[in-house]
Structure 1
């Protein structure tokens, strides 16, 4: 895909997110919007995967979303890259829908390998998958995404310690570092301090990108991370993003962590992100 085509995916995903959460007056637009470039880069440029989905993922890269509440961006990405029909996005959070508020596996939704939303668990699962790939002589990689607020969970730090101690060097974990969570700024709720130094103290190789909503730079940092795998250490990316990115009234605040726009604000957000050739669902 060209960069222009990928940028269209970013913009169309923003529209999908707004329309999904507005239709049911629930969901988590803020973090979803902040990660549109990451998901587009991952699925449009970086990962080696098949849309002929098989749960075991043998011979393909795997992705685990740990902060499952940002499901709108995940669902939009999976649909737009061919895992299931884009039309299904209309069913988000509705009765009997496969697109639940937090991703789940029991409805057999292609692209979803774990139920997530109970924060802190995704890294542990990903480490297990990465070790399984090593045992099976499968040279593909495992990717994860985590919220910065999620790092307040103790299980994350147990997993970080385990991964480096066991040389899980086929793992790339990205932290969506937007500085905000449901109750306010992370620095006020529970300050993460010098996150880079902490990750390095746990013997991870740490990369950092200050412009996490710049698609070209997100692609570049993910490519750099890939080049650092297989060298004895797991790789972490601290990706600085803006919650609600691309929607002016959502940016600069934690208040849109889990709140849907009304009719007027929906239209305002959509005007800021015009429909692309990919078309609305």
Structure 2
């Protein structure tokens, strides 16, 4: 576990990594990555029990994480590298041909920390359920975490998986919804309003936790710890985490416009001016 100030420093460096990676190749998804920074840092530097090296793809006797909305790979790659899964310097290869850090995570390159290819939205919860059930069969009491975008909940497979998880009492699963209210074409309310996400999961038989300040490290940790306390009680756990897309960079925050747009040189300089270099740039 890492103390709060150190976690916040990691967040600042992670955000620097995100904007630099996307800028370097003028391609990628900075908005959702910036918005989920506190979640990823809390997960990998405070919550999960895992071993970075040597990396075991099977994840026996350790907590597992599955990223369903794979387009936010910049934050995932940054946090994995800073947690020791692979060299930080490899972040400079993001989205370049024949490298391990592709725009959406893949498995055939053998990048440590990546257990599934993701990017086709709606599939990650099904995978996480399978892993959670496998742990139950193996008498492994570790937990499985997954992350999903709120726009991703418009995929029907999510609700098939949610129904299955509740019916089969997959109570070692914590699925977090990044509720930033934005998706590629605009606000989620404008594209396809979903009403209360918590009410939907509860209707499907899940227990829920609400993190109202998803870009506040203390709130994220408290919410995830509450979710962990609810495991083992017969229900899967859904964490509804309210974030701001683009959080940490003022001109990117709260809008869908930075979902998949890279900053230019001037915008990069402005963003980096708001983000302290704490661990050293790659």
**TM-score category, normalised to shorter length:** over 0.9
Displacement of 1:194 after TM fit? Answer: 1.5
Q: Which moved more, 1:145-154 or 1:245-254?
A: 245-254
Q: Distance in 1 between matches of 2:196 and 2:270?
A: 37
Q: What does residue range 216-227 of structure 1 map to in structure 2 within 5 Å?
A: 216-227=218-229
Q: Is 1:24 the counterpart of 2:25 in the alignment? A: yes
Q: Which residue of 2 aligns with 1:121?
A: 123
Q: Distance in 2 between matches of 1:2 and 1:228?
A: 23
Where do 4+ consecutive residues of structure 1 move more than 4 Å? none
What is the SS of the residue equivalent to 2:258?
coil
Q: Which residue of 1 aligns with 2:255?
A: 253
Q: Distance in 1 between matches of 2:194 and 2:268?
A: 33
Q: Which residue of 1 aligns with 2:156?
A: 154
Per-residue CA deviation, residues 181-220 of structure 1 (Å, 9 max, x unaligned), is: 0000000000011111111000100110110000011011
Number of residue pairs aligned between Structure 1 and Structure 2 = 280
Q: Which residue of 1 aligns with 2:265?
A: 263
What is the SS of the residue equivalent to 1:255?
helix
Scaled by the length of structure 1, the TM-score of the pair is 0.99
227, 238, 241: which one pairs with 1:239?
241
Q: Which residue of 2 aligns with 1:14?
A: 15
What is the SS of the residue equivalent to 2:146?
strand
Q: Which residue of 2 aligns with 1:42?
A: 43
Q: Is 1:228 the counterpart of 2:230 in the alignment? A: yes
Q: Distance in 2 between matches of 1:105 and 1:174?
A: 22
Displacement of 1:252 after TM fit? Answer: 2.2
Cα RMSD after superposing both structures:
0.5
258, 275, 278: which one pairs with 2:277?
275
| Long gaps (5+) in structure 1 | none
Displacement of 1:3 after TM fit? Answer: 1.0
Scaled by the length of structure 2, the TM-score of the pair is 0.99
What is the SS of the residue equivalent to 1:74?
helix
What is the SS of the residue equivalent to 2:224?
helix
| Long gaps (5+) in structure 2 | none
Per-residue CA deviation, residues 198-254 of structure 1 (Å, 9 max, x unaligned), is: 110001001101100000110111011111000000000000000000101111210
What is the SS of the residue equivalent to 1:107?
coil
